[in-house]
A and B are shown apart, each in its own frame.
Chain A
Amino acid sequence: MVKIEILGTGCAKCKSLAKNVEKAVSEAGVEAEVVKVESLSEIMNRGVMMTPALFIDGEAVVVGRAPSVAEIKGMLKR
């Protein structure tokens, strides 16, 4: 089971990332737990100063932008 975390306070870019993650997980057919972290203090305490950010199994893979569905699928296959 892959743990995917989406860090963002809920603006348009964060929502776009959440949507892309959902699609990528479904298309890649991976079993994943998707967690949204929306608390600004928690986001900043994790060292994220630009959102949205994407963590896979605890590792920051993208910070400050919303990657495409294809990009996320590639990250999930690693």
Chain B
Amino acid sequence: MLEREDERKEEGCLCASGDLLFLACAGGSNVGQMSNQAAVELAKDGRGKLFCLAGIGAHLDTMIVAARERKLVAIDGCPVQCAKKILDHAGLQAALAVVVTDLGIEKSPKLEVDPADCKRVVEKIKEELRD
């Protein structure tokens, strides 16, 4: 199955497989950037698809129609929870909402992502998805 997905990606196919979408706030802080990096790693690991939160925020019908029928994971850097709120505004509900700072990772204006912290976020989401 994964092999076939890889083949499709190489061919440039966008054929949807799976029902899980990761939407990260990708905000202007270390934890915002970490939310995006975690989403990228989860997608590369085959856990779901990285999806465009900006497209949802822009209320693009193509994005909203696709998201409406899938399980959404909102990954936010901080308690402001912009990703989750953007979904709410679009009438979509996150099946799982994760906040990076809830894991004890401190928010700072620096944009560097600590790989060890990012790994913790990825593992936390994997764990939540298993439950």
Contacts and interface: CB of A to CB of B under 8 A. Distances in A.
A62 B8 contact: no
B16 interface: yes
Contacts of B66: 48-50, 53, 63-64
Interface residues of B, number: 19
Nearest to B66: A63
B51 A40 contact: no
Contact of A9 (B11, B52, B61, B65): B11
Given A11-B8, A49-B52, A50-B49, A63 B62 contact: yes
Contacts of A13: 15-16
A48 B8 contact: no
A15 to B, nearest CB: 11
A42 B110 CA distance: 37
B116 interface: no
A49 B65 contact: no
Given A9-B13, A51-B14, A63-B66, 16 more contacts: A8-B15, A9-B14, A11-B15, A46-B62, A47-B60, A47-B61, A47-B63, A48-B66, A50-B15, A53-B62, A60-B65, A62-B65, A63-B65, A64-B16, A65-B16, A65-B69
Interface of B: 8, 11-16, 49, 51-52, 55, 60-63, 65-66, 69-70
25 contacts: A8-B15, A9-B12, A9-B15, A11-B8, A11-B11, A11-B13, A13-B15, A13-B16, A46-B62, A47-B60, A47-B61, A47-B62, A49-B52, A49-B63, A50-B14, A50-B49, A50-B66, A53-B62, A53-B66, A60-B61, A60-B62, A60-B65, A63-B65, A64-B66, A64-B69
Interface of A: 8-9, 11, 13-14, 40, 43-44, 46-53, 59-65
